[in-house]
Structure 1
């Protein structure tokens, strides 16, 4: 299952580490100041997902790549328009005469639109950008695939949905057959909807569809991270499209309800507004995050109370 850990303390910025079961790879949402993020965790990050590059979401990028340099790995960085130039500027601001080109490779995925992702590669020591392709999907590896929504924060702010790959369970006790390679063949046929595929079991051939009752599809866990966004119908429609019925969503709730006018002026959300859109999305669980640094623990408690009242309707 996908798990998330908030790595920033109250009055720090925001950074959320995402882990998957049985994998040493981690994923990081935003690079704000986060004192709970360890060196070991930073080194295990295989992909960074940046919502936008206001300083409270990007200030710790240098600290992240400092611990990754020398790994020899490819690390993906996804983000909004111009993320490639902003990453390039940060990397070129240092001297790298003791680092060779195999020290690391960053693959930057610039989100231009829901259907257009520009992919760049950048390597030390000169950090010259190379546009290698344009693709229609953002990210997928052995563990997860990532969808997104482009929200308005008076700049593009990307909200990310991490979806665990679906799995298939075989019900051995119901089969009556001995274990064998036919089980993996049946699972492949099931996943590809190859209903007429012939599956040989103990010398007899069976039509795959006649054996599908031995399998159950388990839908992958869905975890969302929605950072800064303005309150408004257009943003909410985008959120509902991507995050409907997700298992767990972390959502920005920057202001108290009593400060909602500041939210409107600064293109942020406020407690009950974030709770309401999560209720409308019918997500199973929602968590308010990323509060104004001026707030005390008492203020945050007020935000959480208003958020959950709107989300749960009580």
Structure 2
């Protein structure tokens, strides 16, 4: 099950680290101040997901990059329209005369629309962007695939859904056969929906379909991160399309209910609105995050109380 940790203190800008169990691979959503993010964790980040490039969500990109340079790895960066130009500008603002061209590579994926994602690469020491291709899938690796919604925050703000790959369980207790490589062959046939595949067990050939009852498909865990967004119906429709029945979602809850006029003015959400949309999405567990820095710990508790009242009522 994916594990998420908020790496920012109450008064700090938001950053969430997502860890893959039994793996050294991490992902990070937004690059806020994040005092709790360790050097080791920053070095293990293989993909960065930026919601939007307001300073409180993007200011610590340089700090993360500082710990990645020299790794020789390729790191993926996903973000909204023009993210490739903004990354290029950040990197070109420094002097790199002592850095080798193989020190690191970034692959930047600019989200233009749900169907249009432009891919660029950028490398030291000159950090010149190279256009690679346009694709319609944002991100997939051996552990997760990532869906997204483009929300309105008076600029594009990307909300991300991380879905673990489905797994297949073999029920040894109901099998009369000895364990062997045939189990992995059967799982492959099951995953590929190939019922006619012949599986050899102890010298006898069996059709895979007749063995599928030994397997169960386990749906992958769905973890969402919804950052800044206006509390309006257009955004809510997009959220429902992507985050319905998610297992856990972290959602921006910037203002108290009594300050919802500020929320409307600044294209943010507020406590009960965020809780209500999570309830309408049938999310199993929801966590309010990213509170205005004007608030105290007592204010945060008030926000959480209003959020959970709307979510669980």
Q: TM-score range by the shorter chain?
A: over 0.9
Extract unaligned runs of 5+ from structure 2.
Answer: none
Q: Does 1:46 align with 2:43?
A: no
Aligned position for 1:34: 34
Q: Determine the C-alpha separation between the residues in 1 that align with 2:192 and 2:238.
A: 30
Q: Determine the C-alpha separation between the residues in 2 that align with 1:62 and 1:186.
A: 47
Aligned position for 1:59: 59
Matching of residues 96-245 of structure 1 within 5 Å:
96-245=96-245
Deviations 1:87-108 (A, max 9, x none): 0000000000000110000000
Q: Determine the C-alpha separation between the residues in 2 that align with 1:3 and 1:224.
A: 11
Q: Determine the C-alpha separation between the residues in 1 that align with 2:68 and 2:312.
A: 41
Q: Determine the C-alpha separation between the residues in 2 that align with 1:285 and 1:223.
A: 10
Q: Which runs of 4+ in 1 moved over 3 A?
A: none
TM-score (norm 1): 0.99
**Deviation at residue 205 of structure 1 after TM alignment:** 1.0
**Deviation at residue 197 of structure 1 after TM alignment:** 1.1
**Deviation at residue 258 of structure 1 after TM alignment:** 0.1
**Deviation at residue 204 of structure 1 after TM alignment:** 1.1
Q: Determine the C-alpha separation between the residues in 2 that align with 1:211 and 1:115.
A: 39
Aligned position for 1:3: 3
**Deviation at residue 26 of structure 1 after TM alignment:** 0.5
Deviations 1:227-251 (A, max 9, x none): 0000111100110110001000000
Aligned position for 2:261: 261
Q: Determine the C-alpha separation between the residues in 1 that align with 2:157 and 2:263.
A: 15
Report the 3-state secondary structure (helix = DSSP H, G, I; strand = E; otherwise coil) of the residue aligned with 1:113.
Answer: coil
The count of aligned residue pairs is: 313
Report the 3-state secondary structure (helix = DSSP H, G, I; strand = E; otherwise coil) of the residue aligned with 1:179.
Answer: coil
Deviations 1:1-25 (A, max 9, x none): 1000000001110000000111101
Q: Determine the C-alpha separation between the residues in 1 that align with 2:270 and 2:198.
A: 57
Q: Does 1:90 align with 2:90?
A: yes
Q: Determine the C-alpha separation between the residues in 1 that align with 2:197 and 2:166.
A: 21
**Deviation at residue 203 of structure 1 after TM alignment:** 1.2
**Deviation at residue 219 of structure 1 after TM alignment:** 0.5
**Deviation at residue 198 of structure 1 after TM alignment:** 1.1
Q: Determine the C-alpha separation between the residues in 2 that align with 1:95 and 1:188.
A: 50
Report the 3-state secondary structure (helix = DSSP H, G, I; strand = E; otherwise coil) of the residue aligned with 1:211.
Answer: helix
Aligned position for 1:70: 70
Q: Determine the C-alpha separation between the residues in 2 that align with 1:171 and 1:10.
A: 46
Q: Determine the C-alpha separation between the residues in 2 that align with 1:23 and 1:111.
A: 27
Report the 3-state secondary structure (helix = DSSP H, G, I; strand = E; otherwise coil) of the residue aligned with 1:127.
Answer: coil
Report the 3-state secondary structure (helix = DSSP H, G, I; strand = E; otherwise coil) of the residue aligned with 1:282.
Answer: coil
Aligned position for 1:12: 12
**Deviation at residue 75 of structure 1 after TM alignment:** 0.3
RMSD over aligned CA atoms reads 0.5
Moved more, 74-83 or 176-185: 176-185
TM-score (norm 2): 0.99
Matching of residues 291-302 of structure 1 within 5 Å:
291-302=291-302
